[in-house]
């Protein structure tokens, strides 16, 4: 069956959400960003493999960011899967607390010091201790030459007590030169995500939340020009409990006995958000919540 689109938001689709076009001088004024929500296991990877290129082409996407911390059977990310996701057309991979579930990722992060290593485009949250392998931000250029940056942060409420994500963002923004800046706020508490959105309003292009695997319906452009969404949702199987086979999770709740969790396979959806911004200022002009299902 063809993909079906649901959950669309845009203040003025005909103007704000139309594909970017050159001006009279041939300069692209608008940048369109696609942020793909937590890729969960093989089902998530397969729907990205099958449909990302079409979404990029038909919607005029210039920059693709995806959260990949659950790509390896729902828990963690391996170097080979990181490389696979990058080959599919993702420009930067963000992660979160589950990134360490596969130990080999630490050595992969260390390899980012080599020239030309793709590992530099795979991030762990920036507010981990300074000597933690990997980095939490990336600055580069899109295929059309637009400078951009991606920052990965992790919340502290109901999660590991890392360094302050708010002050970490302040420190990183002091040195980032790009105007187009996307922040992945990987956090449990909606209040902490919303607080980060307001804290960075006007200083970054977008603050989008990940981690809970449940898409929220509060997409908006904040007053100073930052696009915001509390949680992009999961790219993976929705006939599940946040990606895992239902019976396995129910057994854990009913017995409190640890059980092996495995990715579910049914009702696979591609959950993402599309953000338009001004190339010169980085200010967001529109946000569209996108859920594609087969």
State the catalytic residues.
98
47 Cβ contact partners less than 8 Å away, ≥ 6 residues apart:
235, 236, 268, 269, 270, 292, 294
Q: Minimal CA–CA distance to 206: which of 232, 240, 239?
A: 232
2 Cβ contact partners less than 8 Å away, ≥ 6 residues apart:
none
Q: Determine contact, residues 152/182, Cβ cutoff 8 Å.
A: no
**Alpha-carbon gap, residue 154 to 170, rounded angstroms:** 14
3-state class percentages of the chain: helix first, strand second, coil last, to nearest 5: 30, 30, 45
C-alpha atoms less than 13 angstroms from C-alpha of 113 in its C-beta half-sphere: 5
Element (H, E) at 289: strand 284-293
Q: Determine contact, residues 105/80, Cβ cutoff 8 Å.
A: no
Q: Determine contact, residues 294/3, Cβ cutoff 8 Å.
A: yes
């Amino acid at each position: 069956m063809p993909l079906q689109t649901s959950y669309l938001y845009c203040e003025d689709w005909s103007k704000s959400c139309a594909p970017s076009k050159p001006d009279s001088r041939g300069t692209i004024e608008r940048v369109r960003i696609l942020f793909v929500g937590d890729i969960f296991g093989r089902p998530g990877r397969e729907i990205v493999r099958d449909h990302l290129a079409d979404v990029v082409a038909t919607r005029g996407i210039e920059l693709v960011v995806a959260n990949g911390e659950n790509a390896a059977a729902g828990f963690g990310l391996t170097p080979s899967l990181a490389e696979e996701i990058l080959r599919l057309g993702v420009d930067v991979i963000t992660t979160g607390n589950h990134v360490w579930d596969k130990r080999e990722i630490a050595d992969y992060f260390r390899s980012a010091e080599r020239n030309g290593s793709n590992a530099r485009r795979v991030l762990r949250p920036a507010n981990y201790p300074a000597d933690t392998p990997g980095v939490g931000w990336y600055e580069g250029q899109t295929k059309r030459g637009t400078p951009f940056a991606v920052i990965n942060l992790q919340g502290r409420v109901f999660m590991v007590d890392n360094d302050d994500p708010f002050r970490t963002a302040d420190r990183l923004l002091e040195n980032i030169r790009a105007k187009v800046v996307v922040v992945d706020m990987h956090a449990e508490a909606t209040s902490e995500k919303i607080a980060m959105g307001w804290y960075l309003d006007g200083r970054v292009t977008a603050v989008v939340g990940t981690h809970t695997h449940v898409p929220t319906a509060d997409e908006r452009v904040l007053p100073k020009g930052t696009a915001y969404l509390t949680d992009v949702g999961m790219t993976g199987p929705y006939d599940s409990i946040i990606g895992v086979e239902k019976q396995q999770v129910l057994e854990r709740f009913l017995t409190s006995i640890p059980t092996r969790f495995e990715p579910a396979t049914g009702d696979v959806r591609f959950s993402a958000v599309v953000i338009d911004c001004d190339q010169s200022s980085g200010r967001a002009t529109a946000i569209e919540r996108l859920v594609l299902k087969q």
